[in-house]
Amino acid sequence: MPNSLEAKLFGVRLICLISHSKLNLKLIFLMDNTVDRAHRMVETFPFLMKMFHRIGPGAVAEAAVTLPQFHALAAFLVRPEWNLSDLADFLHVKPPAASELVERLVKADMIQRQTNPDDRRQTILTLTAPGNEFLEQRKANMVSSYSRMLKLLPVEDQVCFENAIRELSRIAILFDEMEKR
């Protein structure tokens, strides 16, 4: 019997398939084609990743911020403050690697360390004003680029694309939770 997380993931897949399909396909047919779909995804993702990288973090080179540093800064779009352990977990890196990343961002005046008032043994990481300004500028540039890209599609396809990205994001979160077990 699947655990609740696997059931949720299966349910998400079924909801996605049912809501996006105008045909009444049998589940067995859908499951038989999963490997074929995965092959097509593997073939397509490199082009998508290149495009997303060029629009997003790839455009940070002029700011002397590395891709891992950009990912660390982007974590602050999810939460306004982090401790080192949680940030390392979020970035899928070991704490020493996260510590080195944070140290470089502190030296670049993008992140600041503060002692947690509730637990003086713990340090809280937050964006500095320049770090926040950098991140907001990158976010604005990305929104502008994505808007130009989306305008190439009919509105119905834009909505489909947005829904697919949200669905992939939810599945990625579920997949992360499954891997932690």
**Model pLDDT, residue 12:** 42
Please give the CATH number for the structural domain made up of 34-150: 1.10.10.10
**Model pLDDT, residue 61:** 53
**Model pLDDT, residue 73:** 93
**Domain limits of the chain?**
34-150
The pLDDT profile of the chain, 181 residues, written as one tens digit per residue, is 444 444 444 444 444 444 444 344 444 444 557 778 777 777 877 777 777 777 765 555 556 688 889 889 999 999 999 999 999 999 989 999 999 999 999 999 999 999 988 888 889 999 999 999 998 988 888 888 888 888 998 999 889 888 988 898 888 888 888 887 7
Distance from CA of residue 51 to its chain's centroid? 15
Q: Is 15 exposed, middle or buried (0-12, 13-18, 19+ CB in 10 A)?
A: exposed
**Model pLDDT, residue 120:** 86
Using left for φ > 0, alpha for ψ between -120 and 50, and beta otherwise, residue 109 falls in left
**Model pLDDT, residue 86:** 93
The answer to whether 34 touches 14, Cβ cutoff 8 Å, is: no
CA atoms within 13 A on the CB side of 161: 13
